[in-house]
Amino acid sequence: MSILKDEFPVAAMDFVAAGEASGKIKRMLKKLGVNINVVRRVSIACYEAEINLVIHSRGGKILLEVDEDKLTLITRDVGPGIPDIPLAMREGYSTASDDVRMMGFGAGMGLSNMARNSDRFHIESQVGVGTEITMGFDL
């Protein structure tokens, strides 16, 4: 039985709401009394994932599950998918538009930052279908 289970929709290109889900998750975890260093790592990884859904995907959602000994974050979107995952994971690689760069994103650091901040990182993607990222954190 998990302690907490929730999901948060994320709309494509909605820059006003971008980050709201991560903010909610951060506050939920703090309230639960999760270790502050873990909260920090989850917050960074979650925000990077949420921004990616906003700027690169056609929309999706973030699923959060907290158990006794671990926390899982899953992001699932409805496309366009990532054709070359090793290339996308490379620091500095980005397909972000100039508009996105003007917002302060698109350095090509997000996926590697997500992998660095989580204890387990798994990404699966199919072009034309979507991308699913699973991040695990030990509690």
Partner 1 sequence: MKIREILRVLDARLVWGEPLLEEEVATACASDMMSDVLAFSKEHTILLTGLINPQVLRTADMLDIRCVVFVRGKQPNQEIVDLAREYDVAILSSGWTLYEASGKLYESGLKVE
Ligand X SMILES: Nc1ncnc2c1ncn2[C@@H]1O[C@H](COP(=O)(O)OP(=O)(O)OP(=O)(O)O)[C@@H](O)[C@H]1O
| Cα 87 from Cα 106, distance rounded (Å) | 15
- Of residues 34 through 63, those in contact with ligand X by CB under 6 A are 48, 52-53, 56-57
Q: How far is the CB of 106 from partner 1 (least distance, A)?
A: 7
Q: Which of ligand X, partner 1, Mg ion, none is residue 78 near (CB under 5 to 8 Å by kind)?
A: none
| Residues sharing a CB contact under 8 Å with residue 93, sequence separation 6 or more, in sequence order | 87, 108
Binding Mg ion by CB under 5 A: which of 22, 43, 52, 118? 52
- Grouping H, G, I as helix, E, B as strand and the rest as coil, residue 129 is coil
Interaction between residue 89 and partner 1 (CB under 8 A): no
Burial grade of 25 (CB within 10 A; 0-12, 13-18, 19 or more): buried
Please identify, using beta-carbon distances, which residue of 94 and 131 lies nearer to partner 1: 94
Please compute, for residue 49, the number of CA atoms within 13 A of its CA located in the half-sphere on the CB side. 35
Q: How far is the CB of 106 from Mg ion (least distance, A)?
A: 7
Interaction between residue 110 and partner 1 (CB under 8 A): yes
* List of residues contacting Mg ion (CB under 5 A): 52, 110
